[in-house]
Amino acid sequence: MAHKSDNWFIQNTHNTARFFTENRHISWMVLVATVVWGIFGYFKMPQRKDPDIPVRVAVAICSWPGVATEKVEQLVTRKIEEKMAENITVKRIESTTRVGVSFVYVTLQDNIEETGKQFDDIKLKLDDLQASLPDGVQPINFIKDFGSTAALMLTVASPKIGEVEISLRAKAVQRALEQARAPFYTNGANERMAIIYWFPPSVEQDLAKRRFEAFVRLAQNEGVLRDPRLIEGSGFLGVDGISDYDDAKMHAYIQHYIKDHLRIAELHPDGWPPIVIRNLEETEKKFAEAAGDKYTYRELNEFTELIKRTIQTVPQASKVDRAGVLDEAIYLAYSQERLAAYGSQTNNLRDILSARNTALPGGVVEYEGKNLAIAPTGEFKSEKEIGGVIVAASPNGSPVYLRDMVEINRSYDSPPRYMNFYTWRDAQGNWQRSRAVTLAIQMRPGEQIGKFGAAIDAALANVKHRLPEDLIFARTSDQPLQVAENIDLFMSSLYEAIALVVLIALVGFWEWRSAVLMALSIPLTLAMTFGMMYVLGVDLQQVSIASLIIALGLLVDDPVVAGDAIKRDLAIGHKPIIAAWLGPTKLATAILYATITNIVAYLPFLMLTGDMGRFLTTLPIVMTCSLVASRLVSMTFIPLLGYYLLRPSKKQELPMSERRQRGFAGWYYKIGHWAIAHRWKVFAGSLAFLALGGFFGSQLKSQFTPKDLSYFSYIDVWLPEDAPLSATREVTERVEAITRREIDEYGKAHAENGAPLDLLESLTTFVGGGGPRFWFSVSPEPRQTNYAQIIVQLKDKHATHHLVEPLQAAFSAEIAGARVNMRQLETSAIGIPVSIRLSGEDIPTLRAEAEKMKEIFRALPLADRVQDNWGAQSFVVNLEIDPDRANLAGVTNLDVAVSSAIAMNGYQVGELREGDKQIPVIARMRMEERSQLADLQNLYVYSSQSGQKVPLRQISSMNYTMQTEKIQRRNQFRTITVSCFSVAGVLPSEVLDAALPQLQEFEKKLPSGYQMEIGGEYEEQVKGFGELGIVMGISIAMIFMALVVQFKNAVKPLLVFAAIPYGIVGALAALWIMDMPFGFMGFLGVASLVGVIVSHVIVLFDFIEEAHERGESLIESLLDAGIMRLRPVMITVGATVFALFPLAAHGGPLWEPLCYAQIGGLTVATFITLLLVPVLYAIFVLDLKIVKWEKTADHDV
């Protein structure tokens, strides 16, 4: 690199630095415009909590009611998978098959940005497939937006019934009981016990009374109740009698009866639990304890439907889904005997209702010049009209109405398949649990989350006056609030970092003018960066703000160097109008290449794929924008401001000969001179330091990504595959109670100022399936009665991590027969961290091999909650039909299946339209006739040919077998995944490391055709680290090429790279000291060191070359360049390092490894740059002679 004289630059240079200095009016106008542009961009750019990560997943759901799992898998799931695989952009296909239903998930390749077109293609293929599926298979429901994340979850819950209503109801019951007990007041009234059931208004009193009387008869026959006296009133039924049972035992008896005789899942969800009363004075107290919710599911449905329609008018909202809505149904409960007595069967009901309930138009007639539409009145308007349909005639000729033949009951889909509950603390501080419906609201792309939240608030305020005042509204996932808090937190970190950088500058320059110049460069550079980000469509979220903090030290590098150069030119006598642009111009080439090396160090990170790649996309973009902005500011506004601010030092700058002897520069010169004189010893010592890096690396634990710092966590509750919703709901309530207790105990144990911490905000529970996708990496579980999800919301996000261990310990100790997992939110979709996939075809072999694998993990003390994703086999009842008897009776296997399904699950025979709702009318056997498994054999089977009926027991027998309830597949092969968690204090990588030798032996012994794959965190880590390694290699290659172009020499770049390994050792040492695991962000911190380290060495080399051209000796050139760069390097590195501390302190566990890696790496690399690089340069010149040094002084040799 040839360095020209100052006069040459003055006579021949016409660049931006000179233009901005000499045309100051224009320059000030551009400066103001830049600031305005930056402010406009900052306030206009979209804001989010996290980067928008599109989940390239869709799901196809296909039902085949009542069909065995394996049959659904073979005839439905496999065909869907084969069709999906025809699309060339498909990356992965996974499926879950259960009894009667298939879920097939398709994931597109990471490079597919426009997913809509590909999903449309897959849907068309599935539509073509529908015709080739077996009879009875329902249409395939293909959900393209399965991966969309809700920006806001609004849970609408019912309050409890108020004190006034409780008092009124209690008094009505108390009066009835007083009348019933009146004959006993003289003797024995206090020994009596009353059981009260308060049923919802939608239940007919006669129906409720018949069922209640059946309970009383059984209790009397079994000796549980003596001398029972029935009581009834408006909305309630009761019995008063004598019992030897205490209250708890009586409640247990009632629950046992409901479970065995009434099917607990089919009880009306709006009803109250039974109440046991002894002392009439405690009636109101008992009612208050058992009080139900004020609003029914039907009312919640209507309320949330109104809210949904209102929110859909908000321009910023894109889609609103509801979770927890119970669909209504009208049930025609029939008795086989009664139906047969009228000579009818369920198939006839459909024909009768269809003929009466018609919506067909009556045509159009022309009358007096007008077309008049004829509208026959045929549609049912209420369930009472359905009961008024004439179905037959009695022997005396009078009509027989449908209500005479069946019991008509309006209720909900029974048994319910999916329910939502909300737990909150009332004004008295008591925990309440209510039925709820949750609205998942998605935001339109490109909108500001803050404006979205404000628009939703305005819409809710507008609709609330049309809703009950006491209705509970809760934001159970609130991205607008989280975004505001996160941005405030990160922006405060940015302000702290700026303050630290200015302080470092003030200390480093030790005079206010230079410090003010650098301080002014920061807002100017940030303004230009915000403007660029807005133009490029980059949103403001934690990654983009963190990128600005990381870049802060780098973006002041150019202004520091430029300002320092201006001061040197002022010191040698140039006028301010000349020095302001001449200083930056002389170093323009070196600074340009230093900027390029930093840019190419980060830009290849755009090549990262997967969720982490998308998560970090804005990091290289923002870094590039800030570095480009810094370069532009240093060549435009810094010369302008330098002209006004900087002045020649009143104290004349010392010549280099004196600086070598005085102060810190003197110490540096002496140490550097000694190091060059003993260069091989120093080099050997540096190799020992590198070896120490191997020690640090071996001591670091591995964790791909840390858990997110969030107010939210969630609990997965899994029961055996054949568990009904009622059992899942019961276990879930116990889990909720344990959660409340443990969090309260933690708050008491960590009291502040003598007051326990109030940590728990709410619990939002979804029973029968997962809730809406409230976090990008939490995939909602499909609807299944054996699963529940509880979303835990705390008031202090820092407590989430500390509560996981005690909660999980309590779940494991107290919940038997269920698998309960406490989960934190993750920054990548890893799922269960230790997962091993086993693929093959034979189910018994897969299960046997998976059991061996589970034994490996169970033997490890580090592993916890070992499980597989198929679950245990379940009992299934097989109806073995005798073909000879069936043929003689004229009954086919289809007749048996249809009759059984109709009786047990129901059969839709019509519908009732109310507004825009279509309520199905379903015929099914009375609960009393199908509550026991033995009732199945008493079922009448109707022949489809003759219409004759025959008892099922005459043509079949029942036997029990074990059956796989759930089959998982991956990429078209049956795959069972064995997984586990780690015990407290142990990372998942440690569990896998301990199991790996045994797993490798296990893999060798697998039967032919079976394959083992390691998934979970390990799979993501191998992929992520592999990609980062490639990216780091590309960065180094690009930097090397830039240096070759700059130096016109292929050897000198190797000297520039010499400091990199030492910086990496510093990074590893910092991670080890801070007890940070080495994961993706730690690796990213190490990889991003390359550009920063190299940029400092480039400018140092420029000074060395300049001294060389002046004819100085090698040693003087090396050390003088170091002295010249001492202050700028120390200021820049100090600014970079100190700017990272606020991010490390406030950014959460995600950013800590990256920050500490860069802090340690830059600190070590700074000393290496100033001391070891001159030593290595001397070795290359004096000993290895692979770098030439002309005009070498004698003492150098």
In the chain, % of residues over pLDDT 90: 35
Residues of the chain with CATH 3.30.70.100: 163-290
The pLDDT, as a whole number, for residue 834 is 93
Q: Which is higher by pLDDT, 325 or 616?
A: 325
The pLDDT, as a whole number, for residue 651 is 62
Other beta carbons within 10 angstroms of residue 1160's beta carbon come to 27
The pLDDT, as a whole number, for residue 263 is 65
Max mean pLDDT range (31-35, 551-555, 877-881): 31-35
Max mean pLDDT range (377-391, 810-824, 1107-1121): 810-824
According to DSSP, residue 45 is labeled: S
The pLDDT, as a whole number, for residue 1192 is 46
Cα separation, 655 vs 307, whole angstroms: 78
CATH topology of domain 57-146: Alpha-Beta Plaits (3.30.70)
User: Is the model's pLDDT at 812 over the cut of 90?
Assistant: yes
Other beta carbons within 10 angstroms of residue 843's beta carbon come to 17
The pLDDT, as a whole number, for residue 1196 is 44
Instruction: Give the mean model confidence (pLDDT) for residues 629-641.
Output: 89
The pLDDT, as a whole number, for residue 740 is 96
Q: Which is higher by pLDDT, 52 or 687?
A: 687
The pLDDT, as a whole number, for residue 730 is 92
Lowest mean pLDDT among 86-90, 358-362, 879-883: 358-362
CATH topology of domain 662-706+1016-1197: Multidrug efflux transporter AcrB transmembrane fold (1.20.1640)
Instruction: Give the mean model confidence (pLDDT) for residues 711-715.
Output: 94
The pLDDT, as a whole number, for residue 9 is 74
Cα separation, 248 vs 278, whole angstroms: 13
User: Is the model's pLDDT at 935 over the cut of 50?
Assistant: yes
Instruction: Give the mean model confidence (pLDDT) for residues 293-304.
Output: 93
The pLDDT, as a whole number, for residue 888 is 79
Cα separation, 933 vs 935, whole angstroms: 5
Residues 6+ positions from 72 with CB-CB distance below 8 Å: 64, 97, 98, 99, 100, 101, 102
The CATH number assigned to the domain with range 163-290 reads: 3.30.70.100
Let me know the angle formed at the C-alpha of 555 by 551 and 559, rounded to the nearest 5 degrees.
165
Residues of the chain with CATH 3.30.70.1430: 57-146, 709-826
The pLDDT, as a whole number, for residue 457 is 93
pTM, full prediction: 0.86
Instruction: Give the mean model confidence (pLDDT) for residues 1119-1148.
Output: 79
The pLDDT, as a whole number, for residue 852 is 95
Q: Provide DSSP, 315-368.
A: TTEEEEEEESPPPEEEEEEE-HHHHHHTT--HHHHHHHHHHHS------EEEET
Q: For residue range 1100-1125, list pLDDT tens digits in order.
A: 777 787 788 777 888 888 888 888 77
**What pairing do the DSSP bridges indicate for beta strands 472-478 and 152-157?**
antiparallel
CATH superfamily assigned to domain 1-44+511-648: Multidrug efflux transporter AcrB transmembrane domain (1.20.1640.10)
Q: Identity (one letter) of the amino acid at 366? A: E
Q: Are 706 and 827 spatial neighbours (Cβ–Cβ below 8 Å)? A: yes
The pLDDT, as a whole number, for residue 853 is 95
The pLDDT, as a whole number, for residue 266 is 62
Residue 419: band (very low, low, confident or very high) from pLDDT cuts 50, 70, 90 = very high
Residues of the chain with CATH 1.20.1640.10: 1-44+511-648, 662-706+1016-1197
Nearest-10 Cα torsion for 269, 274, 275, 277: 160
Q: For residue range 227-284, list pLDDT tens digits in order.
A: 999 999 888 999 999 999 998 999 999 888 887 777 665 677 888 889 999 888 888 9
The pLDDT, as a whole number, for residue 680 is 92
Lowest mean pLDDT among 648-652, 690-694, 1000-1004, 1126-1130: 648-652
Instruction: Give the mean model confidence (pLDDT) for residues 488-507.
Output: 77
Residues 6+ positions from 270 with CB-CB distance below 8 Å: 200, 202, 292, 293, 296, 297, 298
Q: Identity (one letter) of the amino acid at 388? A: G
Cα separation, 46 vs 540, whole angstroms: 6
Which token pair is 867?
């499980």
Residue 185: band (very low, low, confident or very high) from pLDDT cuts 50, 70, 90 = low
The pLDDT, as a whole number, for residue 188 is 53
User: Is the model's pLDDT at 72 over the cut of 70?
Assistant: yes
The pLDDT, as a whole number, for residue 187 is 57
Max mean pLDDT range (34-38, 639-643, 959-963, 1110-1114): 34-38
Phi, psi torsion values for 184, nearest 5 degrees = -110, 5
Cα separation, 451 vs 479, whole angstroms: 12
Q: For residue range 8-27, list pLDDT tens digits in order.
A: 778 787 888 899 999 999 99
Among the residues of 859-983, which ranges form H helices? 883-889, 893-905
The pLDDT mean for the chain works out to 86
User: Is the model's pLDDT at 1195 over the cut of 50?
Assistant: no
Q: For residue range 900-914, list pLDDT tens digits in order.
A: 777 777 888 888 888
Residue 554: band (very low, low, confident or very high) from pLDDT cuts 50, 70, 90 = confident
* Domain 709-826, classified CATH 3.30.70.1430, yes or no: yes
Cα separation, 1036 vs 1094, whole angstroms: 10
Q: Identity (one letter) of the amino acid at 555? A: L
User: Is the model's pLDDT at 66 over the cut of 50?
Assistant: yes
Residue 768: band (very low, low, confident or very high) from pLDDT cuts 50, 70, 90 = very high
Lowest mean pLDDT among 416-430, 858-872, 982-996, 1140-1154: 1140-1154
The pLDDT, as a whole number, for residue 629 is 93
Q: Are 190 and 279 spatial neighbours (Cβ–Cβ below 8 Å)? A: yes
